Structure 1
Amino acid sequence: MPEVPGTAAVSRHPVQLQPMQVPKASDVLANDLRERILRGDFPTGTALPPERELVTQTRMSRTTVREALRILEVQGLVTIKTGRSGGAFVQQPGGAAVATSVSLLIRGQQLRLTALLETREAIEPACASLAAKYRTDEDLAILDRVNAAMADESASLAEFLQANIDWHLAVAAASHNELLTGLMSALSAAIYSSTENTAFVDDTVRKITIRAHKSITEAIRSSDPQAAVRRMTKHVHGYAEAVVKVEERTEIELGAE
């Protein structure tokens, strides 16, 4: 039988297809609503259509609609209220959403303390610089109040550490940059939970910290970004070095046992 022209090169082996990842219907709906919220189609405070109406409009099941709304709630894009006047209400993500996301990353990846300290050294001087530019009288009042709490000699270790966190967050807040504030919120909580021990925070460390905080606060009060950056860089770098030394000493002591 004569060969049909052009067929000699055709493979007789069946074509192998890779498994296709089909997105869940709830993810598709959540993505669509998310884009509309971020685009501004639904301003903050707007009530999304009720579940029954969303089911009718999208032709999806009530379970799918509820799951999509739950995804948006976890992402901080809607708040769900129950009751007669309840429903899903739009809210724009803020610093809290950033802090939550970063905290999950830190815990989920079990990031090393040194990585947290390096990140802090990279961004906190920027917070101080912006704070010196944009701080308000209210920002300064908060910094002064926290400095006074740290200087209270009767404060316990837990109270001192909390005041320390509050001061660093106050500097970030004074930058009026929500992204930096969110990052600092997550970083501070992770770092200080790892250093809550008397082996590191003794009376000398308290005095050095209080003095550094007051110096940085004065640079912010004087609207001096260069001094704020210089003093904050020295402060966080010195803190990082001290923490690493304590960590190394602890590992050696544990190994000796």
Structure 2
Amino acid sequence: MPVDNFTVKRVVVDKVLAPKPYDLLADQLRESILLGDIAEGEVLPPERELVEQTGLTRGSVREALKQLASEGLLRTKPGRFGGNTVTLPGRDVVTNSLSQFVRGRRMSLRELNETREVLEPAMARLAAEYRSDGELSRIKAAHQELIDSAADFHRFSRANITWHRAVAHASGNELLSAVLEAISYGVAVSTTVDRYDDEATRRQVIRVHGKITEAIDDRDGDAAERLMSHHLGATHARATDAEITDVPLSEDDTNE
């Protein structure tokens, strides 16, 4: 309304949303753990002591600890001599989260195949450059299993996944390896569609896997990358663009 030729505006201020106390405590502890201020293996003070130190309720302290445990930053041992031991996230944390994302979003084979085509040739190159003798032995053993299982479609599929994981592990890059493991269900689907269930195709896979294995053995990164890229392109040309849940394959088949 006008007052002495001036217009008075009503000022509106949004509500101030204060973070919950347990979120603040979880943030503080998380940052200290990730920065290394609280070392892996160290045991946090008992809940009672954390309540005294922070001034928070016991419920808030427990909720903060529960959050960190769900993130893989704490390992909780109940009982009189138990406690909350600091842990660092393992590869399984990344793998499980990505795997749930892939399956929950019903990712198409096209998306999974595109991801593999980007990652696996690079991992084959890295494997050729950085593999240890032990890792090379595991790759060769997985390839031998492919040869031995050529007549058994599902056994062959599991051996195929094992070989790809062995190459990924030999790359020495934990993050890339975790991503590949997370989409292993897609790898299984890509190689378990009807068009792939063909003896001649399996012989071809054995042949190209053998060449990639030789390139890794020879530490020939160029050849390993080129052969893997060609192999994935040929494999994915046979796969349909269905969603991964459309294929009747048990997820357990990807975990052996």
TM-score by length of 1: 0.85
Match of 2:221 among 225, 230, 237: 225
Counterpart of 2:252 in structure 1 is none
Counterpart of 1:141 in structure 2 is 137
Q: In structure 2, what is the Cα distance between the partners aligned to 1:15 and 1:46? A: 51
Counterpart of 1:10 in structure 2 is 8
Per-residue deviation, 1:110: 2.5
Q: Deviations along 1:22-80, whole A, 9 cap, x unmatched?
A: 43332222221111111001121111222222222222222222222222222222222
Q: Deviations along 1:201-223, whole A, 9 cap, x unmatched?
A: 32222212211211111111111
1:32 is paired with a residue whose SS is helix
Q: After superposing the two structures, state which structure 1 stretch, 234-243 or 184-193, moved more.
A: 184-193
Q: In structure 2, what is the Cα distance between the partners aligned to 1:22 and 1:159? A: 56
Per-residue deviation, 1:19: 4.6
Q: After superposing the two structures, state which structure 1 stretch, 234-243 or 187-196, moved more.
A: 187-196
Match of 1:111 among 86, 107, 114: 107
Per-residue deviation, 1:21: 4.3
Q: In structure 1, what is the Cα distance between the partners aligned to 2:50 and 2:195? A: 57
Q: In structure 1, what is the Cα distance between the partners aligned to 2:8 and 2:62? A: 50
Instruction: For 1:10-29, list aligned pairs within 5 A.
Output: 10-11=8-9, 14-29=10-25
Indicate the RMSD between aligned Cα atoms, in angstroms: 2.5
1:244 is paired with a residue whose SS is coil
TM-score by length of 2: 0.85
Q: In structure 1, what is the Cα distance between the partners aligned to 2:198 and 2:41? A: 48
Q: In structure 2, what is the Cα distance between the partners aligned to 1:32 and 1:122? A: 37
Q: In structure 1, what is the Cα distance between the partners aligned to 2:91 and 2:151? A: 29
2:239 is paired with a residue whose SS is helix
2:80 is paired with a residue whose SS is coil
Instruction: For 1:56-205, list aligned pairs within 5 A.
Output: 56-153=52-149, 156-193=152-189, 196-205=192-201
Structure 2, gaps ≥5 residues long: 247-256
Q: Does the CA contact (< 8 Å) of 2:30 and 2:73 recur in 1?
A: yes
Q: In structure 2, what is the Cα distance between the partners aligned to 1:107 and 1:16? A: 45
Q: Deviations along 1:97-131, whole A, 9 cap, x unmatched?
A: 21122112213332222111111111111111111
Q: Does the CA contact (< 8 Å) of 1:94 and 1:178 recur in 2?
A: no
Number of equivalent positions:
243
Aligned AA for 2:180?
M
